[in-house]
Amino acid sequence: MKLDLGEKQGVSILVLAGQLAVGGDEQLREAVDTLLASGRTKILIDFTKVSFMDSMGIGELVSSYHTVQRFGGNLKILKPSKKIQDSLSLTRLLPIFEVFEDEETAVASFASTE
């Protein structure tokens, strides 16, 4: 998995690429921990380029979500594929995550949670 970091209007945007699966998920956890340690608690994970996510990836996503919540922050998801949305729905996690199809809308949604 490849991970890039961007920022827009005070929201940290983690752009993932490849597979969020066994062996590649430590990068997500480390990135979220680094953001939280530097005081950034508004995190948007961009799934546009994620081709696959297995149960370990789902576990890391949930773990990251709970960690961000403990820090008083918010973690939201941008543009997951239908396959990833189906996985989140099947595991009954879709209602937990705020999912957006548009980056502008996603970034703006963090302003309403302040």
pLDDT tens digit sequence for 79-111:
999 999 998 999 998 889 999 999 999 999 999
User: What are the extents of the domains in the chain?
Assistant: 2-105
2-105 placed in CATH 3.30.300.170: no
Q: Record the pTM.
A: 0.93
Pairing of strands 2-8, 99-100: unpaired
Which token pair is 91? 């595991």
- CA dist 78 and 81 (Å) reads 10
